[in-house]
Structure 1
Amino acid sequence: MEKNGKIVGLCGSFRKNSYNAMLLKVAGSLLPDGINFEIVSYDDIPIYNADYDIPEVSDRPESVKKFRDTLATADAFIIASPEYNYSIPGGLKNVIDWASRGKDSPLMHKPVALIGATQGMWGTVRMQTAFLPVFTFLNMNPVLQPEVLIAQAQNKFDENGNLTDDKTLSIIKIKLENLISACRV
């Protein structure tokens, strides 16, 4: 990725003290100078409805148009998400559905790094596995290694949202280096 490249972050949780929101901010802070990072909110996006997404009509809601336009500025993505019911949280899957449609999909062919934190013992492994078919359909370039599966997150973040586990920090740095390298291919 060239200097002034851009990575867009998406968080799969809207919780006030979300470990994944904290994780996404940590990841953004670890990016090298010259890489722009923007976390995109999507709490105003309606439930996906294909009736508003027909190419001939192009009647997507304004919030969806704005969201897609922001995603289109990205060279790559970082998604930090919890695991809900062994899978992708519904809100996150919903915006991926909105962004995935059409030949102008802002997700197509772009690198993506998936990371996750949970208070449980499995560290979002099932959510990350559930994303693989989505990435395949979109011809995205998922950065699979190293896996960032943070279990027992309540023991790895301080009260200010700082990640305090050095081993996890080093793994995230490697993941980000691999994401940036994927942009050069």
Structure 2
Amino acid sequence: MSDPALLGLSGALRRASANRKLIREAARLFGAATFTEADLDLPLYHGDVEEAEGIPAPVQRLAEQIAQADAVVISTPEYNKGPSGVLKNALDWVSRTEGKPWADKPVAVMSAAAGRAGGERAQMVLRGFMVPFQPRLLSEPELHLADCRNQFDADGRLISEQYTRTLQALMNKLRAEIGR
């Protein structure tokens, strides 16, 4: 059997963001897989643009990546008590594509934020955003990475054994969910 295809979506565009590091660490702990990091640097959703020009190529590519993945890992920062606009925009655009790329897809959601709650509110809101897409959204273990700027070593690995154990358990559940 070939390695599963794992897709990572970071709600932060910065190359060195904690959320990018977190999805990469999730992929490492997931184990043998073909990992792809999605590009969410998309144009803002605009109905007139969609009507005049159709679905932009980068959006279509993202929808196809989601459809082709065996599982998806999403990490969001918390901005003003919710997920990032980047992530919401990507979800809105993908919802406009043909087919249902998220349907029955195993999805693990996590968050990394500077505050002590680790993006818990953003993650809760993101879970609500995902409901209409009907993925197989893992409910636990929840990972809310607090004080995220100080949680990774120079190689991008989590330094906390507690966070590493939680992320490993989440990735084990995600891998098991692929086989269901």
Normalising by structure 1, we get a TM-score of 0.88
Deviations 1:151-174 (A, max 9, x none): 112332123322111111111011
The equivalences for 1:154-165 within 5 A come to: 154-165=149-160
Q: What is the aligned length?
A: 180
How far is the alpha carbon of 1:52 from its aligned partner?
A: 5.1
- Structure 1 partner of 2:14: 15
Question: Do the aligned partners of residues 53 and 183 (structure 1) sit closer, same or farther apart at CA in structure 2, a change above 3 Å counting?
Answer: farther
- RMSD of aligned C-alpha atoms? 1.9
- Structure 2 partner of 1:4: 3
Over 3 Å off, 4+ runs: 50-54
Question: Do the aligned partners of residues 128 and 162 (structure 1) sit closer, same or farther apart at CA in structure 2, a change above 3 Å counting?
Answer: same
| 2:35 equivalent to 1:37 | yes
Question: Do the aligned partners of residues 58 and 139 (structure 1) sit closer, same or farther apart at CA in structure 2, a change above 3 Å counting?
Answer: farther
Deviations 1:1-44 (A, max 9, x none): x64221100001112431111111111111222x221111121x
- Structure 2 unaligned segments of length 5 or more: list them: none
Matching residue's letter, 1:5: P
User: Distance between the aligned counterparts of 1:62 and 1:11, measured in 2?
Assistant: 19
How far is the alpha carbon of 1:103 from its aligned partner?
A: 5.1
SS in 2 for 1:115: strand
User: Distance between the aligned counterparts of 1:154 and 1:58, measured in 2?
Assistant: 40
User: Distance between the aligned counterparts of 1:113 and 1:37, measured in 2?
Assistant: 14
Matching residue's letter, 2:44: I
SS in 2 for 1:147: coil
Q: Is the 8 A contact 2:13 2:40 kept in 1?
A: no
SS in 1 for 2:125: helix
Matching residue's letter, 1:23: L
Q: Is the 8 A contact 2:111 2:144 kept in 1?
A: yes
The equivalences for 1:100-111 within 5 A come to: 100-102=95-97, 104-111=99-106
The equivalences for 1:41-120 within 5 A come to: 41-43=39-41, 45-51=42-48, 53=50, 59-102=54-97, 104-120=99-115
How far is the alpha carbon of 1:102 from its aligned partner?
A: 4.8
User: Distance between the aligned counterparts of 1:16 and 1:139, measured in 2?
Assistant: 30
SS in 2 for 1:145: coil
